């Protein structure tokens, strides 16, 4: 009896905890992810990272609204969207329009990407970008300062995982899990 329960758990658990493969069949926004990744990150950058981010944010639901008011596929705060539109006149539509929401989210990711210029492994650079998108740039920078003071490498994400709780408290768990979730989703996307 116990053996059959264990086998059942081992079989069903991966489909419950991940199951992100199902998003390979959801392609309606793929052209937007591809187009705006090329525009803001260049043709060699894998657009699936941003699709993974959108899955983590909203499960690709264009009408998603968070408890704090973030909107759309990329879950952008209205004030941030307005600021992005001011800086980037190419973004013309409304925050609830999937095309413009995706464009704004990837543009915002690019602005964060440029902040974290220090030399670090690519996966760490992605983690910093996604972590800052979730927790705010200032919080990640404060965690870096703490890491440096404690003799940790402030340019590695594992150092931020250790020090971020002192900056954002329990919210740090959400950010750390968010970054891991995007990585897991990206690995499931083809």
CATH architecture of 28-115: Orthogonal Bundle (1.10)
Q: Where are the domains of the chain?
A: 28-115, 118-190
Residue at token pair 């705010």: 136
- Token representation of residue 138: 């200032």
pLDDT for 145 equals: 98
Q: How many CB atoms lie within 10 A of CB 170?
A: 7
Closest CA to 155 of 133, 182, 185, 131: 131
Which residues, in sequence order, are CB contacts of 149 under 8 Å at separation 6+? none
Tens of pLDDT, residue by residue over 39-73, are 999 999 999 999 999 999 999 999 999 999 999 99
pLDDT tens column, 5-24: 544 444 444 444 458 898 87
pTM above 0.85, yes or no: yes
Other C-beta atoms closer than 10 Å to the C-beta of 140 total 27
d(CA 190, CA 187): 8
């Amino acid at each position: 009896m116990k053996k059959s329960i264990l086998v059942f758990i081992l079989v069903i658990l991966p489909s419950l905890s991940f199951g992100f493969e199902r998003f390979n069949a959801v392609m309606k926004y793929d052209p937007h992810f591809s187009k705006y990744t090329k525009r803001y990150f260049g043709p060699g950058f894998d657009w699936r990272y941003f699709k993974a981010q959108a899955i983590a944010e909203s499960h690709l639901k264009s009408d998603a609204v968070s408890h704090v008011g973030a909107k759309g596929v990329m879950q952008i705060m209205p004030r941030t969207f307005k600021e992005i539109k001011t800086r980037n006149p190419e973004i013309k539509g409304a925050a609830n329009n999937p095309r413009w929401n995706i464009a704004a989210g990837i543009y915002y990711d690019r602005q964060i990407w440029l902040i974290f210029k220090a030399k670090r492994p690519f996966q760490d650079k992605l983690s910093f970008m996604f972590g800052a998108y979730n927790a705010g740039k200032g919080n990640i920078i404060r965690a870096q300062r703490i890491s440096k003071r404690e003799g940790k490498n402030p340019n590695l994400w594992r150092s931020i995982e250790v020090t971020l709780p002192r900056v954002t408290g329990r919210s740090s768990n959400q950010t750390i899990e968010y970054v891991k979730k995007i990585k897991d989703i990206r690995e499931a996307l083809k």
